[in-house]
């Protein structure tokens, strides 16, 4: 039986085998994700998002509110353990796996392609990390995947219901993370470049109503920003486009290197090929569902590549681009195998194709092992997982000083530390952030709370360094060093933290300084 015949046969005979394999993948990876998520301590950002979930709002200073809403639900049901905080990410990974399977299957009429895409996605370090760490990327990836799934069905089935599902996905995705706007050019291109999209202009009523539905789904973000002088939008634009980099070439190389590492090298190569193949072949063969996979990935990746020349780009920002890239690579491989009947000279490429998920799986297993045990002797400055260790010990030291010095309030200079101390201290106290008078920067206190602090003593916690205490000491009659704590990870010291006592606080430390720059 040749490859083309086998592929056609798979479309009819394989679904039950593949459904069983997909179920095993979802359940198996779900158990791995849950076990890994429940072992390690929270990072600073995760604790900060948990802080949001204790004071639910329509949106927040750093991101929209979807992540906090989901987190509030899981912690209300299952308590405040690390697993409960990370459970939305664990569940989201299962949903995204199902969506990429069905999106790829429908786009290429191949259950084999769908299962390959689902497997590949789960074996990337980027998705593996997003599955066990609490971040706003969890709702973003769900609704990005849902938008692709709905758009593929819309192009293939021409039913209005999928237009509205697409609109809901776009709107709710924006309520999860602002990055969702980057999928819009790829989606809109379908309605401009392809006959399957043109026909919707003759049904303009559906397009207008769908746009209104999408806008309504973004209402929480828009209302909150309107109430707070568009502060989150301004912050995101400043953070994304106003941050200078001293060496643009190094910044570009760093971004490229992190993408290769996070997708894993072989999968990265196939995905980049898949993006280009989907754009070219989708356009040439007039297959909008193929074109979409490339148009929702390659331009997004190109945007961040260009942006890395002139600004800070975090490695995970481009994460959604790889959903379409993986689907395109998996489906494209099945398509060219069936159409071209690749001969012996493609033997090396076949071996690399088979080796790609194996390499990804090995690297992911190593990362999960390190997250759970910190067993590998990686230098602290090179181990990004070091941010997960030692926070409970720091909290114990702070609690000891609170017991020795009762009726003190807690001050920190970093928002991540505010969330961590609130989470790991027994009574989950309010932790005040210097330079912020509360909402909207920190949702756990307000200006009225700050107004009650003058005259009281405080415990100030900060990484070792004279600048932090110099800034704080001006607002107290006297400051005294109480303790120095080593934050350890796997037997290695990551950071040093100082605990200070400030006596008789004087107003001014919490004056909002966001607009003073």
Closest CA to 393 of 485, 493, 484, 458: 485
Statement to judge: residues 108 and 179 lie in one domain: yes
Structural domain including 244 reads 16-373
Domain count, the chain: 2
Domain end marker among 373, 407, 441? 373
Statement to judge: residues 35 and 181 lie in one domain: yes
Statement to judge: residues 172 and 119 lie in one domain: yes
Phi, psi of 40 (to 5 degrees): -80, 160
Statement to judge: residues 321 and 445 lie in one domain: no
The residues pairing with 431 across neighbouring beta strands, listed in sequence order, are: 410
**Is the CB of residue 262 less than 8 Å from the CB of residue 367?**
no
In angstroms, rounded to a whole number, what is the distance separating the alpha carbons of residues 423 and 415? Answer: 13
Statement to judge: residues 419 and 353 lie in one domain: no
> Is 35 inside any structural domain?
yes
> Is 358 inside any structural domain?
yes
Statement to judge: residues 179 and 296 lie in one domain: yes
405 in helix, strand or coil?
coil
In angstroms, rounded to a whole number, what is the distance separating the alpha carbons of residues 403 and 395? Answer: 12
> Is 73 inside any structural domain?
yes
Statement to judge: residues 216 and 262 lie in one domain: yes
- Tens digit of pLDDT per residue, the chain (517 long)? 333 334 444 444 458 899 999 999 999 999 999 999 999 999 999 999 999 999 999 999 999 999 999 999 999 999 999 999 999 999 999 999 999 999 999 999 999 999 999 999 999 999 999 999 999 999 999 999 999 999 999 999 989 999 999 999 999 999 999 999 999 999 999 999 999 999 999 999 999 999 999 999 999 999 999 999 999 998 887 765 556 677 888 989 999 999 999 999 999 999 999 999 999 999 999 999 999 999 999 999 999 998 888 777 899 999 999 999 999 999 999 998 865 556 666 788 889 999 999 999 999 999 999 999 999 988 888 889 999 999 999 999 999 999 999 999 999 999 999 999 999 999 999 999 999 988 888 889 999 999 999 999 999 999 987 777 888 999 999 999 999 999 999 889 999 999 999 999 999 999 876 544 3
pLDDT score, position 245: 72
Statement to judge: residues 27 and 148 lie in one domain: yes
> Is 235 inside any structural domain?
yes
CA-based diameter of the chain, in Å? 86
> Is 5 inside any structural domain?
no
> Is 11 inside any structural domain?
no
In angstroms, rounded to a whole number, what is the distance separating the alpha carbons of residues 225 and 232? Answer: 6
Domain end marker among 373, 407, 428? 373
Statement to judge: residues 300 and 445 lie in one domain: no
The CA angle 343-349-354, to the nearest 5 degrees, is 110
Statement to judge: residues 339 and 434 lie in one domain: no
Residue 31 burial by Cβ neighbours in a 10 Å radius (0-12, 13-18, 19+): exposed
Neighbours of 129 (CB within 10 A): 23
> Is 4 inside any structural domain?
no
> Is 381 inside any structural domain?
no
Closest CA to 65 of 177, 150, 153: 177
Domain end marker among 322, 342, 373? 373
Closest CA to 178 of 90, 243, 237, 92: 237
**Is the CB of residue 258 less than 8 Å from the CB of residue 310?**
no
Statement to judge: residues 261 and 315 lie in one domain: yes
pTM: 0.94
Statement to judge: residues 326 and 259 lie in one domain: yes
């Amino acid at each position: 039986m040749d490859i083309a015949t086998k592929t056609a046969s798979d479309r009819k005979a394989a679904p039950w085998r593949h459904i069983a394999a997909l179920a095993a993948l979802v359940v198996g990876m779900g158990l791995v994700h849950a076990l890994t998520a429940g072992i390690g301590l929270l990072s600073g950002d995760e604790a900060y998002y948990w802080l949001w979930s204790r004071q639910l709002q329509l949106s927040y200073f750093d991101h929209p509110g979807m992540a906090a809403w989901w987190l509030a639900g899981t912690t209300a049901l299952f308590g405040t353990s690390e697993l409960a905080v990370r459970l939305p990410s664990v569940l989201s990974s299962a949903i995204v796996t199902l969506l990429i399977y069905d999106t790829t299957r429908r786009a290429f009429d191949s259950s084999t392609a769908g299962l390959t895409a689902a497997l590949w996605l789960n074996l990337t370090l980027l998705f593996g990390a997003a599955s066990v760490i609490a971040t706003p990327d969890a709702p973003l990836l769900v609704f990005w995947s849902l938008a692709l799934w709905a758009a593929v069905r819309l192009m293939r089935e021409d039913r209005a219901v999928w237009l509205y599902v697409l609109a809901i996905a776009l709107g709710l995705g924006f309520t999860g993370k602002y990055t969702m706007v980057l999928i819009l050019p790829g989606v809109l291109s379908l309605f401009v470049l392809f006959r399957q999209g043109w026909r919707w202009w003759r049904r303009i009523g559906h397009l207008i109503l769908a746009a209104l539905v999408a806008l309504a789904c973004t209402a929480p973000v828009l209302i909150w920003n309107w109430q707070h002088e568009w502060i989150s939008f301004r912050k995101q634009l400043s953070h994304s486009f106003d941050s200078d980099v001293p060496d643009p070439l190094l910044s570009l190389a760093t971004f490229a290197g992190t993408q290769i590492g996070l997708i894993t090298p072989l999968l990265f190569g196939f995905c980049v090929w898949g993006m280009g193949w989907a754009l070219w072949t989708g356009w040439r063969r007039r297959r909008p569902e193929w074109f979409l996979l490339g148009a929702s990935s390659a331009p997004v990746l190109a945007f961040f590549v260009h942006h890395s020349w002139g600004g800070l780009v975090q490695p995970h920002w481009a994460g959604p681009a790889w959903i379409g890239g993986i689907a395109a690579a998996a489906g494209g491989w099945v398509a060219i195998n069936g159409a071209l009947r690749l001969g012996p000279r493609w033997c090396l490429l076949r071996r690399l194709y088979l080796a790609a998920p194996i390499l990804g799986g090995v690297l992911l297993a190593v990362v999960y092992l390190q997250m759970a045990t910190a067993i590998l002797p990686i230098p602290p400055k090179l181990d990004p997982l070091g941010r997960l260790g030692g926070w409970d010990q720091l909290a114990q030291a702070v609690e000891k000083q609170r017991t020795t010095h009762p009726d003190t309030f807690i001050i920190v200079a970093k928002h991540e530390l505010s969330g961590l101390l609130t989470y790991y201290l027994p009574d989950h106290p309010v932790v005040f952030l210097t330079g912020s008078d509360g909402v909207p920067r920190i949702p756990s206190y307000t200006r009225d709370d700050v107004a009650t602090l003058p005259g009281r003593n405080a415990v100030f916690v900060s990484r070792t360094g004279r600048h932090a205490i110099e800034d704080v000491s001006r607002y107290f009659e006297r400051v005294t060093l109480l303790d120095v704590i080593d934050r350890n990870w796997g037997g290695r010291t990551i950071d040093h933290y100082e605990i200070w006592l400030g006596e008789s606080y004087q107003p001014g430390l919490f004056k909002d300084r966001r607009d003073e720059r």
